[in-house]
A and B are shown apart, each in its own frame.
Chain A
Amino acid sequence: MHYVAVSLAMLLIGTAGLLTRRNIVIILMSIELILNAVNINLVAFSRHHGNAAGQVFAIFVIAVAVAEAAVGLGILLALFRNRETVQVDEVDLLKW
């Protein structure tokens, strides 16, 4: 199953971007990459098992990704309006 290796590589690229970048927009893009890696896995195993349930799950994942992107970007706009920044490490009001 080469597709699982592709999915793993994509997951790791997404994780690296999520954990190291400062820009919130890029972090949201990394989350999309991770969700896409999950989808590749779901569709690959859906074909392997000869069962369409995996593809239905991938549709649900896409729907949740849309909701997450909409809310995340809404938060980003509100944050930019209040703090004039999109760098995550400058948003440290609640940091102890």
Chain B
Amino acid sequence: MNLEALFFYAFTTLALGGATLAITRRSAVHAAISLMVSLLGVAGLYLLLNAEFLFVAQIILYIGGILLLFLFVIMLVNLDAGRGLRQFHQRWPLGAAVTVIAGVAFAILWSRAVLPPAQTMPDVGNVELVADTLLQDYLVPFEVVSLLLLVAVVGSVLLARKRA
């Protein structure tokens, strides 16, 4: 087994194991820590896929940003009251059935997929390549995303503030 396959399976185990723990833990803090493990595994997969910029963005934005936000909210909201309650709602078999059906459907689609032959990336650095694509071909969506973030920040502050 070569080194890349070894790392692939290690990161996959981290990503999927962390994800499984995140949705099954009783305590929300434990779930958040498991989610962090999962996101680190995904970051490792990005590294294996030669997407160095996304690797860094994943760690800074997801683990440093979103997960921190989750932990802050978990500490603001008293979630310990929910620990002794049922963790799954009454119609969970329906949700599980939908998941299984979706899984079978996607697996069938995946097994029948015919991929075009693989091509190689242009021989420049990953960050340079992503920056060129982002700021030349996708400049307008990039600006729209910045507007979306502004609206989201203002909106979340409005939603979360105390009513006078």
Contacts and interface: CB of A to CB of B under 8 A. Distances in A.
Interface of A: 1-6, 8-23, 25-26, 28-30, 32-33, 36, 39-40, 43-44, 46-53, 55-56, 58-60, 62-71, 73-78, 80-81, 86-89
B128 to A, nearest CB: 10
B19 A33 contact: yes
Nearest to B97: A19
Given A8-B110, A53-B138, 18 more contacts: A15-B99, A16-B23, A22-B87, A25-B28, A25-B32, A29-B70, A32-B62, A33-B35, A40-B42, A62-B57, A63-B145, A64-B145, A67-B151, A69-B66, A71-B159, A74-B158, A75-B159, A77-B77
Contacts, number: 227
| Chain B interface bracket (under 10, 10 to 19, 20 to 34, 35 or more) | 35 or more
B51 A43 contact: yes
